[in-house]
């Protein structure tokens, strides 16, 4: 069970349809978890079957009907249980890092291109997360919000996202600079 708890945690923020969740999970906001839509629909079905969430049909006029899901008491209890169980170590898997590891033996050009792309997606995510942070804390400043706000969980994970994306971005930029300089001096065929 893995995606399971990420879905439950996301539903703490309110009712969502599978489709809406899919968008949240696609970007990765608020959750440190990515999932494809198909996975989410499947997981939602299981969660409902297990009584951890309930869905209600919403009939819409100008678009397909949808089902909105809410946590049940059992769902919250399951989250509670999960939160107190020992955490599995963070899982990180990155193609690009593998490529950089091999960069002395392969053509660096495509790797440079991918570093640039990763840097720009990191910058975009960073901007998105920073906007989310502002929305979450409204007019308050960060310190006050963290002290007195009533719901800081999403803010804290979003902060993690910011810091992470900044780290990724900077690493990509610095790594690309190193590789470009080496390509110029050309002393490493």
Residue 47 buriedness (CB in 10 A; 0-12 / 13-18 / 19+): buried
Between residues 33 and 41, which has the closer beta carbon with respect to its own copies?
Answer: 33
Please give the size of the binding site for its own copies, defined by CB under 8 A: 75
- Judged by CB under 8 A, the stretch of 14-22, 62-70, 105-113, 130-138 that binds its own copies is 105-113
- Taking the least distance from each CB to DNA, the nearer of 65 and 144 is 65
Element (H, E) at 35: none
The residues that touch DNA, with contacts defined as CB under 7 A, are 1-4, 17-20, 23, 34-39, 41-42, 45, 60, 62-67, 88, 91, 93
- Out of 24, 47, 52, 111, which residue is the one contacting its own copies (CB under 8 A)? 111
* Residue 66 binding: pick among DNA, its own copies, none (C-beta 5-8 Å cut-off by kind): DNA
Least Cβ distance, residue 60 to DNA (angstroms)? 5
Residue 66 or 96 having the CB closest to its own copies: 96
Q: Which long-range contacts (CB under 8 A, 24 or more apart) does 33-41 make?
A: 33/3, 33/6, 35/3, 35/6, 39/3, 40/3, 40/7
Closer by beta carbon to DNA, 19 or else 144: 19
- The span from the CA of 188 to the CA of 68, in Å, is 58
Q: Which residues contact 154 (CB under 8 A, 6 or more apart)?
A: 13, 30, 136
Instruction: Using the structure block, give the residue that is written with the tokens 């678009």.
Output: 63
Which position among 82, 130, 133, 137 is part of the footprint of its own copies (CB under 8 A)? 82
């Amino acid at each position: 069970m893995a995606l399971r708890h990420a879905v439950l945690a996301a539903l703490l923020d309110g009712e969502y349809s599978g489709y809406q969740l899919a968008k949240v999970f696609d970007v990765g906001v608020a959750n440190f978890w990515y999932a494809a839509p198909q996975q989410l629909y499947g997981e939602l079905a299981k969660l409902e079957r297990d009584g951890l969430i309930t869905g209600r049909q919403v009939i819409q006029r100008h678009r397909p009907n949808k089902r909105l899901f809410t946590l049940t008491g059992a769902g919250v209890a399951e989250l509670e249980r999960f939160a107190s169980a020992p955490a599995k170590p963070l899982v990180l898997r990155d193609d690009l890092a593998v490529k950089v590891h091999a960069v002395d033996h392969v053509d660096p050009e495509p790797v440079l291109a991918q570093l640039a792309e990763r840097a720009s997606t990191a910058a975009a995510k960073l901007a998105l997360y920073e906007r989310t942070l502002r929305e979450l804390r409204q007019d308050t400043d960060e310190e006050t919000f963290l002290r007195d706000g009533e719901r800081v969980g999403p803010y804290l994970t979003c902060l993690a996202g910011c810091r992470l994306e900044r780290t990724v971005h900077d690493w990509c930029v610095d790594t690309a600079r190193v590789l470009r300089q080496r390509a110029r001096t050309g002393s490493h065929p």
